[in-house]
Structure 1
Amino acid sequence: MILITGATGLVGSHLLRRLVLGGQKVRATYRNSIPVSDITHLVEWVQADILDVMALEDAMQHIEQVYHCAAVVSFSPDQKKQLQHVNIEGTANVVNAALNAGVKKMVFMSSVAALGRIREDVAIDETMNWTPETSNSEYGKSKYLAEMEVWRGIGEGLNAVIVNPVIILGAGDWSSGSTAIFKSAYDEFPWYTEGISGFVDVEDVVTAMMELMQSTISAQRFIISGANVPYRSVFNLIAKAFGKKIPSRKVSPLMAAIVWRVEAVKSWFTRKKPLLTRETAKTAQAKVNFDNTRLLQTLPTFAYTPLEVSIDRICAELKVKYQLP
């Protein structure tokens, strides 16, 4: 029996589908309501918040493998406490429950934000960690400290692997998260930056996690990154796949600095989340490269999907999901 936390998120939902359709017995946690899909009836759903120790202990019974994907992803300053509670305390609870239940192996989905992703002078690899100088977000700090809980569990006998994906591309909820990139391109958002980052297909993330779970590998972390690409190039590919205009107006660092400050003031008055924060403004301007060689050397048969192929497929899936022309 396999347990997935965060099974309603982008990675968790794709992982759930792959496992279930592959004939695996899967138990998945949910917080408020069970998602409705064509595979809902094939899943054992249990209501369990990772901050609820008792519910988590119950969910972990008779489980051999755990994919811990539940997390809060936010770059909004007002969500600092929630990031700490869910990402750090929640992960500690999952680790403790897995140890108590005698789980055979856990794969923890972290983030490259835990590596300190604002490093423009050197490629980021798995030897690096978050520091105040190399990270600009509370999210990155929370994922780094969550990893520390996993390493603690490993020290106490838990067989576990950590994965650090870059920006994940997939047909999720395009009103939030990384899938919002696709909605922006579809809406013909005219602005672009000259920043560079790593991008990866959600299906590749799922494949890597499943292969690492089935391997004998333990007590290691792996960057999952298909390619280091300019944000502008990604927006252009998405716009072309949707048949939309490509971005044509460059955002300068000065302009970004002004906009995030204006958004901060607007957010204070409206009590709505800002469209741009200091963290996201800085990240969008940074030119960052990620070294993906460790995973490729560890899993010789694994290969990343070309970015163009991923974007064409995801845009087609989003057209169906949102009934787009």
Structure 2
Amino acid sequence: MIFVTGGSGLIGSFLIPALVAQGHAVRALYRRQIPAIDSAARVEWVEGDVLDGLALRQALEGVTHVFHCAGLVSYAPQDEAALQQTNVEGTANVVDACLDRPGIRLCHVSSVAALGSHAAAADLPAGAPQLVTEDAKWDLGAEHNAYATSKYLGELEVWRGVAEGLSAVMVNPSVVLGPADWERSSTRLFRYAYNEHAFYTPGNINFVDVRDVVDAMLHLTLRTAVSGERFILSGGAVPLHDFLAQAAACFGKKAPSVAVPDWAAEVIWRAEHVRSLLTGARPLITKDTARAGRKSVEYQSQKVQQVTGRGFRPLAETIEWCCRNVKQNSLGSGAVVVY
């Protein structure tokens, strides 16, 4: 029996059908309503929340493996408390529930954000990217956004569990791409390209196909006994403009053509911050999103490729798959929500 949290999210909505297709018995947590995903009818759904430790303990009866995919992704200042609750306290509850049932194996979905902020190395040539591996150290003296901090502290809860005897592995995906609700998370990048926005910010985007994320999670958790290790999942890095241009071309739309200079981005996020304070509305751009990608960073995935023996899909294939499915399931039907 395999237990999954976060089944309505991008990763969870592809992980659950993959588990069912392999013949596994799946039990999954949901909060408000059972998500409309493939194979949902073949899943044992349990209503609850990762903040409810007692419900988690009950849900893990008879379970052998846990995939903890539930998490909050947000850079809005209003969500700092929610990030702490979901990504840190929720993960602590999952770890404690696993520890109460010896023999359970946990796969925790973290993020490359948990690897910390990375200043350009002084000895790197101008413009050369900094290559980041799983050995990156969290700089306690550096400034980190609330989301990154919450994912780092969530990882510490898993490390605590490992120290207490839990068999656990962690995956650190970069920007996960897949055909889902383009009003949420990274899939909004495709909506941005489809709407033919003219502006883009300089910088790189590290990406990974959601199917590759699921494949790696299944292999690491079910086919190996590796424990107390984390694995970066990233298919590569490209300039954000190139990504948006490829997505726009796939939709038959115009690519963005106006680069937003750093000074303009700084002005915009400050104006948005003031507007959100005055109106209570969520900012369209924050300090963290305005500054994302300015430092040239590439996350290295050789470690997971050596363990699994598998590579990652090229960006062009992922973009074509995402655009085609968004067209079929969202644009053609007049609905935006797929999962």
The TM-score, its normalising length taken from structure 1, stands at: 0.96
Whether 2:211 is the aligned partner of 1:203: answer yes
- Correspondence for 1:231: 240
Whether 2:331 is the aligned partner of 1:309: answer no
Deviation at 1:134, TM superposition (A): 5.3
Amino acid at match of 1:123: L
Moved more, 279-288 or 230-239: 279-288
Q: What do the CA deviations read for 1:129-172 (whole angstroms, capped 9, x no partner)?
A: 33356554111001001000000000101000011000111112
> Hey, what's the Cα distance between the residues in 2 that align with 1:47 and 1:92?
19
- Correspondence for 1:124: 132
> Hey, what's the Cα distance between the residues in 2 that align with 1:292 and 1:52?
34
- Correspondence for 1:243: 252
2:74 counterpart SS class:
coil
> Hey, what's the Cα distance between the residues in 2 that align with 1:141 and 1:295?
24
Moved more, 116-125 or 224-233: 116-125
Cα distance change on mapping 1:103 and 1:40 into 2, 3 Å? same
Deviation at 1:78, TM superposition (A): 1.4
Contact 1:117 1:288 in 2 (8 A): no
Whether 2:149 is the aligned partner of 1:149: answer no
Moved more, 152-161 or 133-142: 133-142
Cα distance change on mapping 1:70 and 1:186 into 2, 3 Å? same
Whether 2:89 is the aligned partner of 1:89: answer yes
1:28 counterpart SS class:
strand
The count of aligned residue pairs is 324
Q: What pairs with 1:67-216 in structure 2 (closer than 5 Å)?
A: 67-121=67-121, 122-131=130-139, 136-214=144-222, 215-216=224-225
> Hey, what's the Cα distance between the residues in 2 that align with 1:103 and 1:186?
47
> Hey, what's the Cα distance between the residues in 2 that align with 1:120 and 1:257?
20
Deviation at 1:38, TM superposition (A): 4.3
Contact 1:2 1:26 in 2 (8 A): yes
Amino acid at match of 1:116: G
Contact 1:118 1:135 in 2 (8 A): no
Deviation at 1:178, TM superposition (A): 0.4
The TM-score, its normalising length taken from structure 2, stands at: 0.92
Corresponding residue to 2:289 among 253, 264, 280:
280
Which segments of structure 1 move beyond 2 Å, counting only runs of 4 or more?
117-122, 129-136
Moved more, 184-193 or 34-43: 34-43
Note the residue ranges of structure 2 that are not aligned, 5 or more in a row. Answer: 122-129, 334-339
> Hey, what's the Cα distance between the residues in 2 that align with 1:111 and 1:97?
22
> Hey, what's the Cα distance between the residues in 1 that align with 2:26 and 2:33?
17
Contact 2:17 2:38 in 1 (8 A): no
Whether 2:238 is the aligned partner of 1:264: answer no
- Correspondence for 1:291: 300
Q: What do the CA deviations read for 1:75-121 (whole angstroms, capped 9, x no partner)?
A: 11111111111111110000000110224311100000000144333
Contact 2:7 2:35 in 1 (8 A): no
Corresponding residue to 2:328 among 305, 320, 324:
320
> Hey, what's the Cα distance between the residues in 2 that align with 1:260 and 1:321?
33
> Hey, what's the Cα distance between the residues in 1 that align with 2:38 and 2:108?
26
> Hey, what's the Cα distance between the residues in 2 that align with 1:309 and 1:110?
25
Deviation at 1:56, TM superposition (A): 0.8
> Hey, what's the Cα distance between the residues in 2 that align with 1:275 and 1:7?
27
Cα distance change on mapping 1:37 and 1:10 into 2, 3 Å? closer
The two structures, once aligned, show a CA RMSD in angstroms of 1.4
Deviation at 1:285, TM superposition (A): 2.5
Cα distance change on mapping 1:272 and 1:44 into 2, 3 Å? same
Amino acid at match of 2:216: A
> Hey, what's the Cα distance between the residues in 2 that align with 1:246 and 1:316?
17
Note the residue ranges of structure 1 that are not aligned, 5 or more in a row. Answer: none
> Hey, what's the Cα distance between the residues in 1 that align with 2:103 and 2:154?
19
Matched residues, percent identical?
42
- Correspondence for 2:336: none
Contact 1:112 1:164 in 2 (8 A): yes
Contact 1:120 1:289 in 2 (8 A): no
> Hey, what's the Cα distance between the residues in 1 that align with 2:243 and 2:142?
24
